[in-house]
Structure 1
Amino acid sequence: MKVVVQRSKQASVTVEGRVTGEISFGLVVLVGITHEDTIQDVQFLAEKVAHLRIFEDEEGKMNRSLVDVGGEVLSISQFTLYGDCRKGRRPNFMQAAKPDEAKMLYEAFNEALRAKGIKVETGVFGAMMDVKLTNHGPVTLIIESKEN
């Protein structure tokens, strides 16, 4: 499992002209799931995202977590995070989980964050989405549940 975390001042996702998720302050999290992922990967990354210290304290140091600052999450399913571009010119998505399996783990990830008291907004799994965000910092991190 792999997530791209972007610290955001504001963000929204639109599907077919309709806003399906919107946050005012927190993290935009692009979520990629591979066929080897388990509920343990979900729990690991939900814990990491909730408690990653990437928000400034009163001294301007990145020392506070999403939970500490009361931030929100805009979670977007993103199978293209497992696109392999090493050969040819067209990405190979063989490492991405099948949709049914990925959807179950993606929803479990969102629920794990909610269980930590975090407001989670989402796009629509498998849909074509337009994501808008103001990346604050900018701060963007890639976190994986397993080593490559």
Structure 2
Amino acid sequence: MKNNANNISTNRKAFYEYDILKKYEAGIVLKGSEVKSIRENNSNIKEAYIRVKDDEIFIIGMNIAKYSHEGYSTHDPDREKKLLLHKNEIQNIKEEVEEKGKTIIPLNLYYKNGKVKIQFAIAKGRKLWDKRNYKKDQDVNREIDRAMKDIK
């Protein structure tokens, strides 16, 4: 997802540390104060991960800071938040993640038609040498892009 006005938070480290196999989009069950806090850009998905529990999917470790104008009733910033998906999608994800070495990681938090959505992926962790190759490939592609830009 490109960095645009609808983008709230991005997990850039995920693209470096994991091979992204398949992407999904889901809604999130949030409280009112959490939505207001997200609108103030007080959310973080860098340390978050996703788990399947009893045919439901939850995001764990997603931090949404307390809303600045909130009164006495506040939300827990680190509570588990349920993700909204169809039952067959949850079943497919559950089957894929049961394979060894695969995990579910959040990639982006963004607005879509006024609703907060999360893009997550089934991914496989990279080894250290994979990370080095990825970095080298990025540098080569960047140099190629610069050369092509100079030609135009």
User: TM class, shorter-chain normalised?
Assistant: under 0.3
Q: What TM-score, normalized to structure 2?
A: 0.24
Relative to its length, the structure with more helix (as a share) is 2
Q: Which of the two has higher C-alpha Rg?
A: 2
**What is the TM-score with the length of structure 1 in the denominator?**
0.24
